[in-house]
Structure 1
């Protein structure tokens, strides 16, 4: 009886795998690390610092041109400050990687895991990317903590390529990044961080 059950289970799994492989509506896209990136901007009481960070290779899954899942990681070793030069640039890059901020030695990557993608019915606005057509919900993890975030995104399919773009604002305090968070401190840094996500993926 046990052998019959195992045999039936193996046959069912094999049949399910064949159906998924034969379904042309289910497509996996591989993220292009050369054209995908995140621009970041952190704020001081007067002025801001900004830069760019890379996205590591990962996948996005779709069905009938609808995103159904996926994930990507952001290597903190790729933090790049764009508004400073020379020694000041290097100092800030190393400081952002230190335990005061992202603690890249213990947590070398930021990760995002998609939970849900639904049609976006909002009216747009200052912090919404142009042409937003989907609302993305997922787990954003850094400093060893995962928080659920939701943001509008523009997702477009062209040929064998998927292009996604979003504007995201997070509060670093919600992940425990509390360095220079006292408004009365001489080196106060506002808790909000603005992110501009640009993701390009190619059909596998």
Structure 2
């Protein structure tokens, strides 16, 4: 009988340990989340937004351990222009010179490695794979996740995704160049 009690106790402890360390996937509310972009060029800049199609953050207890996201590239929107100029820039960003959204309607970000940053509460260093135009390249960034909101700023080198239009590193004249890096500010509600 004691042997049976010992086995039962061992099972309870083992199941409790598995439950305590289980990962949970938390769906991101795409309608309340924001992805803002900023692109700079000689003599100016443009900014806008793009819609998150879907996303998931993965937690182990309260600790962020993963995530994956899909962005709707057809939703690229310029917010600093209006009228004809806005239409022209939005159209150009969707064209093959930039994101080629007809052929590549989504982009994805998948966390590959994540670790808590020492001395910074709820802050994690992330290594991820970003896929744009069917090309995957690694990116690194910090993310702060706390109380249903996660914030991150990513710097993306567009030339890694074969977006070379007006890049000074690929023949653009210096006074017509667009910076190779653009910024994404992301706020995820979960």
TM-score range, shorter chain: 0.7 to 0.9
Partner of 2:108: 111
Larger radius of gyration: 2
Among 14, 32, 40, the alignment partner of 2:29 is 32
Partner of 2:45: 48
Partner of 1:138: 128
Q: TM-score, normalised by structure 1?
A: 0.77
The gaps in structure 2 that reach 5 residues or longer are 1-14
Contact 1:132 1:152 in 2 (8 A): no
Alignment of 1:180-199 (within 5 A): 180-182=166-168, 183-184=172-173, 187-199=176-188
Contact 2:42 2:175 in 1 (8 A): no
* Alpha-carbon separation, structure 1, partners of 2:47 and 2:31: 20
How many equivalent residue pairs? 171
1:9-40 per-residue CA deviation (whole Å, 9 max, x = no partner) reads xxxxxxxxxx69x8265322111011112100
More strand by share: 2
RMSD between superposed Cα atoms in Å: 2.1
Q: TM-score, normalised by structure 2?
A: 0.82
Q: 1:73 to 1:174 in 2, by over 3 A?
A: same
Measured after TM superposition, the shift of residue 69 of structure 1 is: 2.2
Partner of 2:98: 101
